[in-house]
């Protein structure tokens, strides 16, 4: 049964929790929007499309915001209890700190379970919707595939640069420069136009109408230097010119950039577990076959030794290297060296492939454990740190609690990034890398909880300066004794 004191504690915690969560979500989403806005603005998207994309992609920050909110709210709540002497009154009434923390601990467990459910089911679905929207936009809106002031080189054999885009979907161009990519001994062509308009487009071809421009062309293929020296450059002025361009490579590149090989982000924990297991098993079979092939090649490749006469050796006698002549010994050694070099070159050629596969598996494991489970457990860890830390600091408000919470979160976040990089570089096991930040901070939370339950002055400077003062006083006392002895 929930008592009035429990309701009071939860109500006191819930106010800062909602306020801090709202502020942090606003800050993180705004920061995310500024980083991603260049992909959307000025490219033919409506405000509703941009809002939906930011909503789908911005939900990912909840995994970071919720643990930080719990840390900061718990420090502020228990710091306020200590500052207003409410915590001392509770303890004087026989209520331990563990009993005071219990209702909020239950609330944090509920939030951790909710975060796991959100990260495991809701978030992958929203990420999938966002990527689907981006894919459809790339396929249907040509303006998203062209940027102002940059050469687009994927439209072989042409490179296109646009000075400025306008129109609802960015289909109207200004200052269009088109250059044909050819070898120096082939015909050259350059098109410059003041305006252009995308008439139609599908996933393979782009129909473009150019207005008020010039075509500069040089026919040099198969001509001698003397003929080229006499030949005048060809300049054709046009009012309207219709051009067709192959954009299949451009569409494919844009889609690859948006997918980024991160389809594992759209899977739940269980599905991702099956997916990782299948990839690991297929890799084991593949590399085992490769190892067997290399070994069989080393053992069976004895063509240079076919001329060796083994008739003088009995089957039951051991092979005697010393009975072979020097030429045969040299051929055997050289053959072994060649085989080992070949096997080494084969392995070196496959090293990038092996590293890439291992890095991809590590990324999936880190995503599965860190982003789905680990952050949920971080909520509990941060509460075990924040609640006792607030009771020890005895400061409420947004001053000292904010500074302490930000420092703890930065250390936690940097440690997580460092472990993640070690795992991606195959230096550390990905499972350990996902959990090490929590394994480091969890004992700290237990330590702070035990210290706060004993009313330890953990942050009292005199506790640490006292032994040093006694030490220096003892040294000074010995010096005075020796000085008096010789007076």
* 395-442 per-position pLDDT tens digit: 766 677 778 888 888 899 899 889 988 888 888 888 898 899 999 999
Range scoring the smallest mean pLDDT among 261-270, 370-379, 449-458, 462-471: 462-471
Higher pLDDT: 328 or 21? It is: 21
Helix (H, G, I), strand (E, B) or coil at 238: strand
What is the pLDDT confidence band of residue 203, given thresholds at 50, 70 and 90? low
Domain that holds residue 185: 147-257
Instruction: Give the span between the Cα atoms of 48 and 140, in whole angstroms.
Output: 17
Identify whether 333 is part of a domain.
no
**Mean pLDDT on 192-213:** 78
20 occurs within a structural domain: no
* Helix or strand run (H / E) with residue 161: strand 158-166
Q: Report the distance separating Cα 441 and Cα 420, nearest Å.
A: 17
Residue 175 lies in a domain: yes
Of 167, 246, 239, the C-alpha closest to 210 is 239
- Indicate whether 113 pLDDT > 90: yes
> Using an 8 Å Cβ cutoff, are 376 and 269 in contact?
no
Strand segments, DSSP code E, in 202-259 are 205-218, 234-246
Question: Would you say residue 453 lies in a domain?
Answer: no
Q: What is the mean pLDDT of residues 315-321?
A: 56
Ranges 12-26, 54-68, 472-486: which has the least confidence: 472-486
Percentage of the chain surpassing pLDDT 90?
Answer: 8
In a domain, 43, yes or no: no
Nearest to 430 by CA among 350, 365, 352: 365
Q: Give CA separation, 125 vs 131, 226, 268, 362, in Å.
A: 10, 67, 9, 22
Assigned domain for 173 exists: yes
Q: Using an 8 Å Cβ cutoff, are 100 and 383 in contact?
A: no
Cβ–Cβ under 8 Å, residues 329 and 321: yes
Structural element, H or E, at residue 76: helix 62-83
215, part of any domain: yes
CA 338 – CA 349 distance, rounded (Å): 16
Query: Domain total for the chain?
Result: 1
Q: What CA–CA distance (Å, rounded) separates 107 from 383?
A: 10
Q: What CA–CA distance (Å, rounded) separates 74 from 409?
A: 14
C-alpha closest to that of 101 among 458, 466, 450: 450
List Cα–Cα distances, 393 to 36, 396, 451, in angstroms: 39, 9, 12
Supply the pTM of this predicted model: 0.64
| Position with higher pLDDT, 339 vs 364 | 364
State the pLDDT at residue 441: 92
Neighbours of 57 (CB within 10 A): 20
Of 261-265, 412-416, 423-427, 455-459, where does the model show the most confidence? 412-416
pLDDT at 168: 67
Reading the block at residue 373, the tokens are 């489970």
Mean pLDDT score, 20-44: 74
Name the residue among 169, 115, 132 with its Cα closest to residue 57.
132
Number of residues in the chain: 487
Coil, helix or strand at residue 268:
coil
Q: What is the mean pLDDT of the chain?
A: 76
107 — pLDDT class (breaks 50, 70, 90): very high
Residues 77 and 70: their CA atoms lie apart, in Å, by 10
Do 88 and 96 meet the contact criterion of CB atoms below 8 Å apart? Answer: no
Contact 181, 152 (CB under 8 A): no
Tokens of 482: 């020796």
Provide DSSP, 87-147: HHHHHHTT--HHHHHHHHHHHHHHHHHHHHHIIIIIHHHHHHHHHHHHHHHHHH-GGGG--
Please enumerate in sequence order all residues whose Cβ is within 8 A of that of 423, keeping only pairs 6 or more positions apart, or say none: 362, 365, 366, 429, 430, 432, 433, 434
Q: Is residue 222 part of a domain?
A: yes
């Amino acid at each position: 049964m929930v008592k009035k004191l429990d309701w009071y504690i939860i109500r006191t915690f819930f106010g800062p929790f909602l306020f801090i969560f709202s502020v942090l979500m606003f800050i993180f989403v705004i920061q995310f929007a500024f980083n991603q806005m260049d992909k959307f603005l000025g490219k033919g998207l409506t405000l509703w499309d941009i809002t939906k994309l930011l909503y789908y992609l911005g939900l990912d920050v909840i995994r970071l915001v919720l643990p930080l909110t719990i840390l900061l709210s718990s420090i502020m709540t228990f710091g306020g209890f200590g500052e207003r002497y409410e915590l001392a009154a509770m303890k004087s009434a026989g209520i331990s700190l563990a009993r005071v923390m219990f209702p909020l601990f239950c609330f944090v467990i509920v939030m951790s379970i909710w975060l796991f459910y959100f990260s495991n089911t809701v978030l992958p679905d929203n990420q999938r919707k966002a990527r689907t929207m981006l894919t459809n936009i790339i396929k249907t809106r040509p303006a998203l595939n062209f940027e102002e002031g940059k050469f687009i080189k994927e439209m072989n054999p042409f490179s296109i640069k646009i000075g400025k885009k306008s129109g609802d979907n960015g289909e109207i161009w200004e200052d269009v420069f088109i250059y044909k990519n050819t070898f120096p001994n082939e015909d050259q062509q350059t098109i410059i136009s003041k305006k252009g308009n995308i008439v139609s487009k599908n996933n393979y071809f782009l129909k473009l109408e150019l207005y008020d421009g010039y075509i500069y062309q040089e026919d040099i293929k198969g001509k001698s230097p003397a003929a080229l020296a006499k030949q005048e450059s060809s300049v054709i002025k046009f009012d309207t010119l219709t051009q067709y361009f192959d954009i299949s490579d451009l569409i494919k590149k844009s889609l690859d950039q948006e997918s980024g090989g991160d389809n594992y982000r759209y899977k739940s924990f269980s599905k991702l577990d099956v997916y990782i297991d299948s990839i690991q098993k297929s890799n084991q079979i593949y590399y085992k076959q490769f190892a067997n092939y290399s070994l069989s090649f080393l053992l069976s490749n004895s063509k240079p030794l076919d001329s060796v006469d083994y008739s003088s050796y009995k089957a039951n006698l051991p092979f005697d290297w010393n009975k072979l002549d020097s030429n045969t010994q040299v051929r055997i050694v050289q053959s072994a060296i060649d085989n080992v070099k070949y096997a080494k070159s084969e392995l070196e050629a496959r090293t990038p492939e092996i590293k890439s596969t291992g890095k991809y598996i590590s990324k999936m494991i880190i995503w599965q454990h860190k982003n789905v489970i680990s952050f949920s457990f971080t909520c509990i860890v941060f509460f075990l740190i924040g609640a006792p830390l607030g009771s020890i600091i005895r400061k409420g408000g947004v001053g000292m609690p904010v500074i302490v919470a930000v420092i703890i979160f930065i250390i936690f976040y940097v440690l997580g990034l460092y472990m993640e990089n070690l795992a991606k570089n195959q230096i550390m096991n990905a499972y350990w890398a996902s959990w090490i930040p929590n394994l480091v901070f969890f004992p700290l939370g237990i330590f702070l909880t035990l210290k706060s339950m004993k009313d330890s002055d953990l942050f009292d400077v005199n506790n640490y300066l006292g032994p040093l003062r006694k030490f220096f006083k003892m040294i000074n006392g010995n010096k005075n004794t020796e000085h008096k002895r010789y007076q």
